[in-house]
Amino acid sequence: MISFSEKVFAAMKRIPKGKVSTYREIAKFIGKPNAFRAVGNTCNKNPNAPRVPCHRVVKSDGRVGGYAFGEKKKILLLQNEGIKVKKGRILNFEDCLLKTSEGR
């Protein structure tokens, strides 16, 4: 049986460069729609960052959210992938957002 963490990591690997998803979208994608906080905790413990791109998982309101290596590092990684961030928020958030239905 695949663990919760393995499901979260597999879902994160599906997010392409230049796109982001949300903790809530990842939770929905793995069939646990109310487990968005657990998704965040799993992202924080990702032993393979940035190869498993937890930096591409953000808050539902477009704020970048936390990152084990610091918010500034997360913003830098996103910007290096073409995502525009201003004052901790993703600009054109809806255009960058990979929704659950798109990732399948």
Residue 56 CA to residue 77 CA, distance in Å, equals 9
Exposure b/e, 65-103, CB count within 10 A at least 16 = b: bebeeeeeebbebbeebebebeeeebeebeebbbebeeb
Which of 8, 15, 30, 54 is flagged as catalytic? 54
Residue 100 structure tokens:
């659950």
Active site residue 54: yes
| Active-site residue list | 54
